[in-house]
């Protein structure tokens, strides 16, 4: 484990609205001070004083914009810039009555520029403009009607009147959000440069998968091309990933598998660029009435899911540490709320500190078989409506299983394609379809690509020429679709010339759209499966049928295919793995490991993992590194034959456990309680956390 004080890589950070407090001083590389108000300068100064690189974060689609809404900003009221539902009511953020989601008009964008301008002078290194969001059920405000006329040069149509109107509404919403972000970041970057300052801009955003599932439109793939944006935070957490879906006919929360797919697609916001990506974990979630045990178990599921994507090694370790360490929640079997259990706090911090060491060049997969890509397009966000009415408002705070219209919420067209091969133990990863046009290596990590246009559409014919090139060079493509989606009829580049966009895909490939079985194309192959993607969620048999079709293509391309219940990767000394819950069976890990999910950092030599269980272990035979793991940040490390000296920084009030590899039992230890295991050659140190650091000395 790296014992470095260097913070330049900004490997770990967190966001916080509360003022500095020693109980929430997590000792990460950077902090994102949240929100704009009179206390922002003082909060920034105090976190900087505590040794942090300081960024600022604020919402770009919602916030305390009352001075804009009520006319104090420019003398005119702007409630017509609130996102509006079909019944004429504003769509509000959370349970507040006066914070609407905003339509990002030119006027509102200029207001944001003015509001953010003073931040540059506060000397922050980064500005995070979070959650550019436009609800799919919005599109009825006067300002949106004007933007429609300007963009399409035709009169506004009620977005839910026809599939085409809804699709066009989604295109416009994405355009407005992207336009606003581009303007805000470009103007502020230029003004910073005029002052001789360098400020970076990031967009914390939910995954494309979650926004589609929750029926929200966001810029997503556009973030790759906006010139003044330096990267993103993938806002994946329990609240997004426990949204139920359907597999083998069963509706259930599948937090681990959903998070795995969410983190997978989020990588494509920056993959192949020099922009930064952080994966978010949230030890709690926005829903305040779950138990500590529930929060811990689901946090571990998202944590392990994220670590199974070794292409990313930066993390936002928590939003709102104040609500983790200073707010009471329920315990299982009790109606009493209580503060974070001591072992849980230690567990969180061991993970947070270990995450700084995940940038490991040595990556080994347990499963070397075919890599399966599931194509997902921004346009899926534009199709989240079906004739027969709306499916309600869902943002993770409602009971999804009781929500009206929950079948739509399940997004079975996507999960029908993704979950069957995942539950067969294969390396499945969603792929941002738009990237194939401008990123030559977008499909380099994919052996079989599964594509459907029954819930999304290709925005440009160039996508098909890129796919045809990839197939002819050896790729395998499975197209799934029966042509029944009403959105095939919308006005677009293929209509009038082709029955569906899949017919143009077949033409670009030189394939027979009606042909049965695998068709060779150059060095690759394609198969058209005339089925509705959601059908593969209906039973174990239908899931198996899809797996058989994907496997056939993989094996035709020379890949091996071994069904397994164990999804696992080794990143340097770190073994990360999960037993897939619905695949069944157990998996045994043998060796000599330190358990990073155990607050005591116990030794593991033999462990049997059952369905749904997961693990994060440090292999003690991998290297000779003396610092193995700690719930604190280890700084000022000094080691010689006579002993080891360092300082361990951690939030006040947390019990810190540190594990060290030592040549022999120490004759004396100052600053901590000690426990020693001669067989493993490991010593454990325990002491209370102090942000300024606890001096520790071991003498041999």
Cβ atoms of residues 455 and 485 within 8 Å? yes
Residues in the chain, total: 700
pLDDT of residue 172: 98
DSSP readout, 529-579?
Answer: E-S-GGGGGS-HHHHHHHHHHHHHHHHHTT------SEEEEEETTEEEEEE
pLDDT of residue 399: 67
390 pLDDT above the threshold of 70: no
Q: Name residues whose C-beta falls within 8 Å of residue 335's C-beta, 6 or more positions apart in sequence.
A: none
* Residue 687 or residue 389, greater confidence: 687
Q: 542-595 pLDDT, tens per residue? A: 999 999 999 999 999 999 999 999 999 999 999 999 999 999 999 999 999 999
Q: Which residues pair with 609 in a beta bridge?
A: 587
Q: From the CB of residue 563, how many other CB atoms can be counted at a distance below 10 Å? A: 14
pLDDT of residue 2: 55
Q: State the Cα–Cα distance between residues 17 and 34, nearest whole angstrom.
A: 5
Give the DSSP letter of residue 230.
-
Tokens representing residue 553 in the block: 């293509």
Cβ atoms of residues 212 and 384 within 8 Å? yes
pLDDT category, 403, cuts 50, 70, 90?
low
Cβ atoms of residues 203 and 244 within 8 Å? no
* Residue 226 or residue 2, greater confidence: 226
Q: Name residues whose C-beta falls within 8 Å of residue 159's C-beta, 6 or more positions apart in sequence.
A: 136, 137, 138, 139, 140, 165, 166, 168, 169, 385
Q: Hey, what's the torsion of the CAs at 246, 252, 255, 261, to 10 degrees?
A: 0
Q: Name residues whose C-beta falls within 8 Å of residue 300's C-beta, 6 or more positions apart in sequence.
A: 597, 614
pLDDT of residue 408: 77
Q: State the Cα–Cα distance between residues 502 and 488, nearest whole angstrom.
A: 9
Q: 408-421 pLDDT, tens per residue? A: 789 999 999 999 99
Read off the pLDDT of each residue in 334-358 and give the average, rounded to a whole number. Answer: 97
Read off the pLDDT of each residue in 215-220 and give the average, rounded to a whole number. Answer: 97
Q: SS in 3 state form for 363-411?
A: EEECCCCCEEEEEECHHHHHHCCECCECCCCCCCCCCHHHCCCHHHHCC
388 pLDDT above the threshold of 60: no
361 pLDDT above the threshold of 80: yes
Exposed / middle / buried, residue 373 (Cβ in 10 Å: 0-12, 13-18, 19+) = buried
Q: State the Cα–Cα distance between residues 110 and 88, nearest whole angstrom.
A: 25
HSE toward the beta carbon, residue 404, CA cutoff 13 A: 6
pLDDT of residue 64: 86
pLDDT category, 394, cuts 50, 70, 90?
confident
Q: Which residues pair with 247 in a beta bridge?
A: 250
505 pLDDT above the threshold of 90: yes
Phi/psi of residue 129, nearest 5 degrees = -105, 100
Q: 191-211 pLDDT, tens per residue? A: 999 999 999 999 999 999 999
Q: Thinking of the domain 13-361, which architecture would CATH place it in?
A: Alpha-Beta Barrel (3.20)
Predicted structure pTM score:
0.97
212 pLDDT above the threshold of 60: yes
CA proximity to 420, closest of 244, 246, 236: 246
Q: State the Cα–Cα distance between residues 569 and 553, nearest whole angstrom.
A: 24
pLDDT of residue 406: 72
Q: How many helices (H) and strands (E) does the chain have?
A: 17, 34
**Arithmetic mean of pLDDT over the chain:** 95
Q: Thinking of the domain 371-556, which architecture would CATH place it in?
A: 3-Layer(aba) Sandwich (3.40)
Share of the chain above pLDDT 70, in %: 97
- 403-407 LR contacts (CB < 8 Å, sep 24+): 406/244
Cβ atoms of residues 276 and 241 within 8 Å? no
78 pLDDT above the threshold of 70: yes
pLDDT of residue 407: 75
pLDDT category, 616, cuts 50, 70, 90?
very high
* Domain positions in the chain: 13-361, 371-556, 566-619, 627-699
pLDDT of residue 368: 87
Q: 283-297 pLDDT, tens per residue? A: 999 989 999 999 999
């Amino acid at each position: 484990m790296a014992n470095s004080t260097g913070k330049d890589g900004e490997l770990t950070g967190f966001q916080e609205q509360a003022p500095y407090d020693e109980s929430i001083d997590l000792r990460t590389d950077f902090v994102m001070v949240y929100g704009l108000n009179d206390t922002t300068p003082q909060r920034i100064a105090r976190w900087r004083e505590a040794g942090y690189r300081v960024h600022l974060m604020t919402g770009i689609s919602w916030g305390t914009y009352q001075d804009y809404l009520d006319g104090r900003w420019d003398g005119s009221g702007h409630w017509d810039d609130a996102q509006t539902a079909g019944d004429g009511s504003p769509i509000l953020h959370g349970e507040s009555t006066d914070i609407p989601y905003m339509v990002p008009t030119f006027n509102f964008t200029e207001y944001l520029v003015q509001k953010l301008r003073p931040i540059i002078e506060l000397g922050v290194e980064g500005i995070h403009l979070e959650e550019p969001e436009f609800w799919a059920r919005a599109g009825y405000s006067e300002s949106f009607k004007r933007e429609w006329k300007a963009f399409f040069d035709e009169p506004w149509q009620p977005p839910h009147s026809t599939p085409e109107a809804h699709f066009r509404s989604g295109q416009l919403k994405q355009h407005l959000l992207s336009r606003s972000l581009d303007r805000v970041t470009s103007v502020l970057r230029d003004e910073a440069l005029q002052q001789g300052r360098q400020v970076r801009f990031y967009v914390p955003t939910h995954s494309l998968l979650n926004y589609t599932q929750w029926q929200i439109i966001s810029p997503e793939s556009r973030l790759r091309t906006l010139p003044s944006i330096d990267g993103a935070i993938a806002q994946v957490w329990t609240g997004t990933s426990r949204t139920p879906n359907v597999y083998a006919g069963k509706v259930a929360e599948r937090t681990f598998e959903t998070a795995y797919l969410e983190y997978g697609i989020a990588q494509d916001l920056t993959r192949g660029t020099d922009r930064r990506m952080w994966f978010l974990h949230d030890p709690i979630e926005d829903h305040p009435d779950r138990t500590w045990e529930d929060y811990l178990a689901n946090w571990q599921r998202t944590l392990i899911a994220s670590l199974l994507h070794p292409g990313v090694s930066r993390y936002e370790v928590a939003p709102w540490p104040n609500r983790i360490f200073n707010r009471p929640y329920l315990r299982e079997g009790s109606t009493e709320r209580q503060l974070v259990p001591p072992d849980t706090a230690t567990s969180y911090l061991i993970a947070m500190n270990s995450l700084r060491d995940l940038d490991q060049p040595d990556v080994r997969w347990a499963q070397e078989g075919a890599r399966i890509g599931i194509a997902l397009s921004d346009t899926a966000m534009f199709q989240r409506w079906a004739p027969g009415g709306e499916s309600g408002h869902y943002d993770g705070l409602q009971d999804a299983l009781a929500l009206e219209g929950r079948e739509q919420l399940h997004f079975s067209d996507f999960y029908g394609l993704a979950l069957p091969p995942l539950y067969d133990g294969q390396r499945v990863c969603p792929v941002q379809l738009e990237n194939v046009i401008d990123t030559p290596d977008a499909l380099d990590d994919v052996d079989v690509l599964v594509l459907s246009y029954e819930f999304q559409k290709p925005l440009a014919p160039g996508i098909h020429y890129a796919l045809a090139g990839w197939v002819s060079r050896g790729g395998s493509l499975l197209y799934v679709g029966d042509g029944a989606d009403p959105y095939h009829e919308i006005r677009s580049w293929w209509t009038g010339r082709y029955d569906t966009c899949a017919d143009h895909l077949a033409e670009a490939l030189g394939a027979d759209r009606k042909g049965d079985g695998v068709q060779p194309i150059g060095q690759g192959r394609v198969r058209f499966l005339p089925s509705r993607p959601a059908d593969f969620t209906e039973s174990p048999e239908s899931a198996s049928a899809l797996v058989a079709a994907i496997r056939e293509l993989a094996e035709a391309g020379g890949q091996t295919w071994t069904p397994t219940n164990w999804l696992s990767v080794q990143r340097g000394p770190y073994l990360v793995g999960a037993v897939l819950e619905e695949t069944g069976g157990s998996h045994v890990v043998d060796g000599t490991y330190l358990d990073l999910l155990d607050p005591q950092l116990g030794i593991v030599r033999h462990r049997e993992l059952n369905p749904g269980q997961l693990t994060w272990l440090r292999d003690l035979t991998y290297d000779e590194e003396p610092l193995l793991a700690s719930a604190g940040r280890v700084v000022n490390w000094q080691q010689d034959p006579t002993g080891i000296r360092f300082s361990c920084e951690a939030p006040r009030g947390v019990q810190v456990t540190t594990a060290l590899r030592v040549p022999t039992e120490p004759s004396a230890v100052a600053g901590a309680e000690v426990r020693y295991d001669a067989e493993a050659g490991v010593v454990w140190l325990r002491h209370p956390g102090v942000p300024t650091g606890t001096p520790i000395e071991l003498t041999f």
